[in-house]
C-alpha cells in the first residue's frame, strides 16, 4: 500500500502553519496558504484572499472492479481521494466500492450519486452506499426543507459527509444552474454541508461560491482534463480539490499522468499566487 494520502495527513498531521493559525484552522483545508498575513489574529480576522492548497481526486465512472482496484492501489498515496459514479456502482454493485476502498483506506472516498429526490428517498439511497464511502453528493436544486435537511440528518447520524452540487461542469449548466445560483446557495447555507461541487470549467462560479460561503466548506471542482479546464485553475479560484477522471484512468500510465497533473497544479497555483489572483 502507498504512503498515507494528503487527505489522511490532514486529519492527524499538524503543520507549522496550523500551529501558527491555532486550533480553528482545522475548519479550513489543512494545506491552506495565507497570503500577506503577519499574525494569527490577522489571519482569523482578515478578508484577504485565502489560497486553498492542492488536492486531486480521481473519478471512476466505468470499468470492472478488478481493474479499478488495481488502479486504486497504484494511485494510493499519489492522489487525495476517489470519486465513484453511478455507472460504476450500477454495473458492479454498491458493495464493489468496498473492494476499491480496501486498496486505499486512507483516501477520501466520495459516492457521486448526485441525488435529486425528496429527503426520504435520498436517505434510503445514501444508506445503501454509506458503509463504503466518506461522503455522498446530492444536487442543490432540490432545496433544503424536505430535501437536503433530511439527507444531512441521516448522513450526520452515520458519520458521513454531505457534498452538495452548486453547479455542474458541462455548458448547459451555465444556462440553468448558474441562473439560480443564489437560490441554490441559500439551500446550501441552510444545509451546512462538508463540501460543495462547483465547475472547474467556469472559475468565476467557484469564486462566487467561495465568496458567499467563505472557508466553511470544501470546494470540489470537476471538469479538469477531458472537459477542458487546466489543472490548477480551479485551485486558483478557491477550490480545495480538482476532480480528474479520463485524463488519468484512460492513460497508458495513470500514475505518471496523475503526477503530471499535480505538477501542473503546483505551477499554476504558484503563478496565480505570484500574480495576486484571482
Q: Which residues belong to the active site? A: 114
Which DSSP string corresponds to 176-196? Answer: TGGGGHHHHHHHHHHH--SEE
| C-alpha distances in Å from residue 82, one per residue of 17, 121, 239 | 26, 25, 16
Tell me, what DSSP letter sits at residue 217?
Answer: S
| Among 29, 58, 78, 7, residue whose Cα is nearest residue 224 | 58
Give residue for cell 429526490.
Answer: 117
Give yes or no for a contact between 123 and 151, defined as CB atoms under 8 angstroms apart: yes
C-alpha grid cell for residue 238? 478557491
Give residue for cell 472492479.
Answer: 65
Amino acid at each position: 500500500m502507498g504512503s498515507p494520502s494528503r487527505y489522511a495527513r490532514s486529519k492527524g498531521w499538524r503543520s507549522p502553519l496550523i500551529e501558527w493559525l491555532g486550533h480553528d484552522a482545522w475548519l479550513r483545508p489543512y494545506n491552506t496558504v495565507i497570503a500577506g498575513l503577519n499574525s494569527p489574529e490577522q489571519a482569523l480576522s482578515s478578508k484577504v484572499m485565502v489560497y486553498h492548497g492542492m488536492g486531486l481526486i480521481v473519478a471512476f465512472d466505468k470499468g470492472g472492479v478488478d481493474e479499478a482496484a488495481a488502479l486504486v492501489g497504484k494511485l494510493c498515496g499519489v492522489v487525495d481521494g476517489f470519486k465513484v459514479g453511478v455507472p460504476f456502482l450500477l454495473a458492479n454493485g454498491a458493495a464493489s466500492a468496498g473492494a476499491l476502498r480496501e486498496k486505499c483506506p486512507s483516501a477520501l472516498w466520495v459516492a457521486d450519486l448526485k441525488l435529486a429526490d425528496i429527503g426520504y428517498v435520498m436517505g434510503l439511497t445514501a444508506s445503501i452506499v454509506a458503509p463504503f464511502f466518506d461522503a455522498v453528493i446530492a444536487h442543490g436544486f432540490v432545496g433544503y426543507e424536505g430535501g437536503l435537511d433530511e439527507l444531512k440528518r441521516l448522513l450526520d447520524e452515520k458519520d458521513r459527509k454531505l457534498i452538495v452540487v452548486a453547479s455542474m461542469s458541462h455548458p448547459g449548466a451555465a444556462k440553468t444552474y448558474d441562473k439560480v445560483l443564489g437560490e441554490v446557495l441559500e439551500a446550501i447555507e441552510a444545509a451546512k454541508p462538508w463540501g460543495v461541487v462547483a465547475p472547474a470549467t467556469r472559475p468565476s462560479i467557484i469564486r462566487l461560491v467561495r465568496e458567499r460561503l467563505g472557508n466553511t466548506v470544501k470546494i470540489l471542482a470537476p471538469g479538469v482534463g477531458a472537459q477542458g479546464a487546466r489543472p490548477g485553475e480551479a485551485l486558483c479560484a478557491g477550490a480545495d480539490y480538482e476532480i480528474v477522471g479520463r485524463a488519468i484512468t484512460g492513460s497508458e500510465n495513470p500514475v505518471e499522468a496523475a503526477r503530471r497533473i499535480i505538477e501542473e497544479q503546483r505551477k499554476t497555483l504558484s503563478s496565480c499566487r505570484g500574480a495576486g489572483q484571482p
